[in-house]
Structure formats: C-alpha cells, structure tokens
C-alpha cells in the first residue's frame, strides 16, 4: 500500500480520470442490482426518493472504487490489467484519490440518511467499510479467500435498495445477496486463471497463485454447484415469476456447462474456457436481475407477503 509513491511523469487530470477512479464497470453492476432491490421490494416509494437511493448507491460504489485504487496504487502499477489506471499513469496522486473517495463516501451515506432512511444509510456505510477496510486493507494481500469474504460488499446493493423502500430486510433481499455472494468467486477466479502471472508478480495471493490452477478449477465448480440451485430460489419464494424461472434455469445450465469446461481445461496457457466462463457469468447476473426487474414492473410476480 503506497499513498505517496511517485509514478514517473505526471500529466493533468481530466474529468475522465476522476470518472475512471469510480470503476464505472463495477459501478454499473452495483446500480443494476441495487435497482432490482428497489423494484422488487413491496410497498411504494416516491420516484425521487428511489432516484436518490440509487444515486447514493452509485456514488458509494464509486467512492469505494476510488479508495481501493488509492490504497492499491503500488499493486496497480505492477499489474498489466491495472497499470493504465489514473494513479499509475500519474494523472492523479494517491492522496488526491483518497480525499476524493472519502468525500464521496461520507456524502453518499449522509444523503442516503437524509433523503431515504437511516437503515439504508447504515447498510451503505457498512458496504463501503467492508470493501475498503476488510477487503482492500486486510484480506486482499493476506489470504486467497480475499474475494470470497470480500465479495459480501459487492453483494449488498440489492439489500440496500430493498431497505430504501421498506426500511428493513427480509428473506427475499437476503436471497439476492446470497446469489451475488456465491457468484463472485467463480466470476473472479475465472479471471484470475488467465491473470495468475499478473497477480503473482504483484504479490496478491489469489487462489491460482497460492493453491494452483487445479484447485481453483475445483473451487469454481463447487461454487457453481451451490449457485445454480440458489439462483432458482427467488421463483420458489414468490419473488420471481415464470420469466425469472426460465432465465435462471437456462442461463444457469449454461453457467454450469462452462464451469465444467473450466474444470476439464487443459490449455493453461490461454485458458479459453475461463475466458468464456467469465463472460457467461456476467450474462448470468444480468439475466437474473433483468428478468426480476421486468417481472416486477409488469406485475407478473407479486411478492408474497411473508418474504
């Protein structure tokens, strides 16, 4: 962790550099799953309150990304996948990113508390703390289970969205959180299989680096076996309807097929199966939450009162 390191030649920061600090691709998934929580929750919410909640979730996620880049500046400079980020490129100093991230963090939580409700604000604050304090500063450099435990932070947006509407939690949002939690390891371990040398060079103990690729393939398959049935549970408890069930079954079967292909992969130089699984995992997450949103908007799957 280096907040004052020099990264060679500097250049003037642009709006695009600050936007890149927010990790927009990650933020887009967070916004999408947070929206699903808002739409799926029982009860009414004013459109402006819903917009405020979604904006706070987005800003909080972006703040977490900026703080992660600030604290991981030394790692990002080494890794091929991350060396093009604003801090390694000399556009933004780590300390500036740190101030930017903490400012956005406090603002997002405060605005959530003022314009939505305190419980949603507390969940957002916990999410930021967990991603920055538990994952980035503690787990990432110490254990190959970093992405497993740290994945809780990325899994919480549906619960925050749900709490923005209801002011509490119940079975349904916890199931959505669990789905993302179990999805995260195979998604990121698929990436780490073909980026293992990058992680090893940076000293990040990702599972392929510490336990080897064979063990990683077994773990990907094990988490997939647990994930696919869990992905069907929203339809069982009345949160999802026929569209959701069809999407979860079909895309889940595809996910499982690709996980099996990764398990039997023999081309460890190029890892084509891992590349495919990484892409399919993104489709899986989008399809599940998109079908849930569509069903709720067209009233195909009314939420049962007990969830």
pLDDT at 305: 46
Average pLDDT, the chain: 93
CB neighbours of 10 closer than 8 A, spacing ≥ 6? 90, 91
Residue 145: Cβ within 10 Å count: 14
Domains along the chain with CATH numbers: 15-168 (1.10.357.140), 170-307 (1.20.120)
Residue 300 has pLDDT above 70, yes or no: no
pLDDT at 13: 85
pLDDT over 70, % of the chain:
94
Residue 60 has pLDDT above 60, yes or no: yes
| pLDDT tens sequence across 196-211 | 999 999 999 999 999 9
> Two tokens at 144?
């190959």
pLDDT (average), residues 170-195: 97
């Amino acid at each position: 962790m280096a907040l004052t390191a020099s990264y060679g030649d500097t250049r003037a920061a642009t709006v695009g550099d600050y936007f890149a600090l927010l990790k927009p691709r990650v933020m887009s998934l967070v916004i999408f799953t947070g929206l699903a929580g808002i739409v799926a929750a029982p009860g009414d919410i004013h459109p402006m309150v819903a917009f405020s909640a979604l904006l706070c979730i987005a800003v909080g996620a972006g703040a977490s990304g900026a703080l992660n880049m600030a604290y991981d500046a030394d790692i990002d400079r080494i890794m091929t996948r991350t060396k093009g980020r604003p801090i390694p490129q000399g556009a933004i100093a780590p300390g500036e990113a740190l101030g930017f991230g903490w400012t956005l963090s406090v603002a997002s939580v405060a605005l959530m508390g003022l314009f939505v409700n305190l419980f949603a604000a507390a969940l957002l604050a916990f999410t930021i703390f967990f991603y920055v304090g538990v994952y980035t500063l503690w787990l990432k450099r110490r254990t190959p289970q970093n992405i497993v435990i740290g994945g809780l932070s990325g899994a919480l947006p549906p619960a925050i969205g749900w709490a923005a509407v209801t002011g509490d939690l119940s079975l349904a949002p916890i199931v959505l959180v669990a789905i993302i939690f179990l999805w995260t390891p195979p998604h990121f371990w698929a990436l780490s299989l073909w980026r293992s040398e990058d992680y090893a060079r940076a000293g990040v103990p990702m599972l392929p680096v510490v336990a080897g690729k064979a063990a990683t393939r077994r773990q990907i398959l094990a988490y997939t076996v647990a994930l696919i049935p869990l992905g069907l549970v929203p339809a069982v408890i009345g949160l999802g309807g026929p569209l959701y069930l069809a999407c979860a079954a079909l895309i889940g079967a595809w996910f499982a097929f690709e996980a099996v292909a990764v398990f039997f992969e023999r081309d460890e130089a190029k890892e084509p199966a891992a590349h495919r699984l990484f892409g399919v995992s993104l489709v899986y997450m989008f399809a599940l939450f998109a079908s849930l949103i569509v069903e709720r908007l067209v009233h195909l799957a009314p939420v049962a009162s007990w969830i």
